[in-house]
Structure 1
Amino acid sequence: MKFEMTENGFETETTFGKLQISANDEYGFRPYQLLVSSLAVCSGGVLRKILERKRMPAKNITIEVKEVVRNEEIANRVEKIHLHFLIERETIKDEQMEKIMQLTAKNCSMLQSVIDSIEVVETYEFLT
């Protein structure tokens, strides 16, 4: 990837299209939004894949970011993210979800990349 400076931030061209990044959300995605999005969507994708492999596909998964804690004293760094998964199910068993959530965390590359520096809390509920 190559990022070029613009008047209000930076941008890069991807195979999907142009990605604009700026400290001002009027001109692009803010860097912390991309970080949180990467963690949420990586975890959601891994969760989806695990459920499909176990032959318990979800009808739908919605991910809510319940909390993002930032430390203003240390460069406004992200210290905690709470992801909450809303899962529409047909055959997913309650007793299997704890193990599935552990597998999700273990196999999400983005979560594993920040595991020693950001507290990531993942919770879920079923919508049926």
Structure 2
Amino acid sequence: MTYMMKDQGVRTELSYGELNIAGDETYGFRPYQLLVSSVAACSSSVFRKILEKQRVQLADMTTTAEVERNPDEANRIEKISLEYTVKGYDLDPEKLHKNMALARKNCSMVRSVEGSIEIEESLNIIQLSQ
């Protein structure tokens, strides 16, 4: 990837389109937003793929990410809390928790930040009736 300087921040061209990155979000995505988004999106995608392979009847899944930053350490990200809300039919909570742990082990972004950023995960299960 190549990053070009602009008045405020940098930009890059990716296969999906142009990405603008800046410390001020009026000019682009902030770097910490991209890092948190990478962790949340990777983890969610891996979790969903595992559930689909096991034929879990998902109706919807959302992930909420909360971030703790340390202002004394250049606003470094200390912790990312991910809450998965899974809606579906005949959901087995024990199986969902095991699969969430398996997703964590197979998410390249979570594995990349292990040891430097604490990742906390929780699961909210909403059973739907057919």
Q: TM-score, normalised by structure 2?
A: 0.94
Partner of 1:8: 8
CA deviation vs aligned residue, 1:64-85 (integer Å, no higher than 9, x gap): 11x2111111111101010101
Q: Could you report, residue by residue, the CA deviation over 1:38-66 in whole angstroms, capped at 9, with x for unpaired residues?
A: 0000000001000011111422111111x
| Root-mean-square deviation over aligned CA pairs | 1.0
Q: Name the TM-score, length of structure 1 as normaliser.
A: 0.95
| Preserved CA contact (<8 Å) 1:60 1:89 | yes
CA distance in 1, matches of 2:18, 2:126: 35
State the one-letter code of the partner of 1:39. V
Give structure 1 stretches of 5+ with no counterpart: none
Equivalent position of 1:115 in the other structure: 114
- How many equivalent residue pairs? 127
Unaligned runs of 5+ in 2: none
Counterparts of 1:63-82 in structure 2, within 5 Å, are 63-65=63-65, 67-82=66-81
1:105 matches 2:104: yes
Q: Which residue of 2 aligns with 1:89?
A: 88
Task: Return structure 1 stretches of 4+ with deviation > 6 angstroms.
Answer: none
Counterpart of 2:31? 31
Separation of aligned partners in 2, 1:32 and 1:103: 25
Percent identity of paired positions between Structure 1 and Structure 2:
45
